[in-house]
Amino acid sequence: MPTTTVCFINQKGGCGKSSSTYHVGGALAAAGRRTLLVDCDPQGSLSQAFFGSAAVETLPARDTLAAVFDPAAVLDSPARLAVPTGFERLSIVRANQSLAPYNRPEPDREGLNQFLLRDALADVTGYDLVLIDCPPNLYLASWNAMLASDHVVIPVPPEDFGAQGLRVVHQALAHASRLNPRLRLAGHLVTRYDGRLLVHRAYEQKLRALYRDTVFEAVVPEASAFKVALACRTPVSHHAPGSKAARVMAAVGEELLARTAGGGVETDGMKQTSVG
């Protein structure tokens, strides 16, 4: 079975990209899927979630994703960048601030640099899924992620700051699909949801009215179990497997598998309607 590559992308910070990648990756690994996480964000939040900030910030660039983007780096095998997380069937390509100089704007003018991540991942085998965590912008790192992926998940908190930039994200996906014709939208994932808040309930309803079946049925709540698990540097699937949070992430993982197996949505056909 070929590897399925999925990137988590939104141009807004605080949308739950890193958290979703972290906990969905854990859920998939717990369900028996060999999963590789790729930290494509110079902030390195996904990497720090496993190893802590001090260990990640002091990593040499040659041991991080920056080695893929550095033309002066000698990278004999990109596969060596994938290291164990300490959890069975779950590995990660780490990132830190050394990636920042390569995350340039206007990525479609970067020539062959647009395909560096795609080419590197072609050398990495033995995984069922690759999940890529993107930075909160649509610069070269996110662009590389889209051109390396089969599917895209857009995490969306049900409020103005999370939802108002979806038009631009959809346009970027449509643009990227011209260079990567296999790219499909797996769906919009509602994150950080608090059902007690009227505004959250209203935004979720509006998202579903506008984007219909492209919105995941599973909704990720704002739950303390996620924060506790993160503080313990352990995906919630492993830290509190019987919790509601773990069950939700297992449901997201199962739905992601179903959506990617089903082909996803053509990016050129996505509705460009604003949520705000």
Q: Give residue for tokens 């108002």.
A: 164
Residue 174 — pLDDT band, cuts 50, 70, 90? very high
| pTM score above 0.85 | yes
- Is residue 7 scored above 90 in pLDDT? yes
Q: What is the mean pLDDT of the chain?
A: 93
Give the per-residue pLDDT at 47: 98
The burial of 196, by beta-carbon neighbours within 10 Å (0-12 exposed, 13-18 middle, 19 or more buried), is given as: exposed
The DSSP call for residue 3 is: P
Give the per-residue pLDDT at 274: 47
Residue 272 — pLDDT band, cuts 50, 70, 90? very low
Give the per-residue pLDDT at 48: 98
- Is residue 2 scored above 70 in pLDDT? yes
- Token pair of 215 as six digits: 């919105």
Overall average pLDDT of the 204-231 stretch = 95
91-110 pLDDT per residue, tens:
999 999 999 999 999 998 89
CATH architecture, range 4-269: 3-Layer(aba) Sandwich (3.40)
Give the per-residue pLDDT at 1: 66
Give the per-residue pLDDT at 273: 46
Overall average pLDDT of the 24-49 stretch = 98
Give the per-residue pLDDT at 207: 93
| Spatial separation of the C-alpha atoms in residues 42 and 28, rounded to whole Å | 25
Overall average pLDDT of the 206-226 stretch = 95
Give the per-residue pLDDT at 12: 86
55-102 pLDDT per residue, tens:
999 999 999 999 999 998 878 788 999 999 999 999 999 999 999 999
| Spatial separation of the C-alpha atoms in residues 134 and 17, rounded to whole Å | 7
| Spatial separation of the C-alpha atoms in residues 47 and 65, rounded to whole Å | 11
- Token pair of 31 as six digits: 């369900």
Contact indicator for 201, 195 with CB cutoff of 8 Å? yes
Domain boundaries, the chain: 4-269
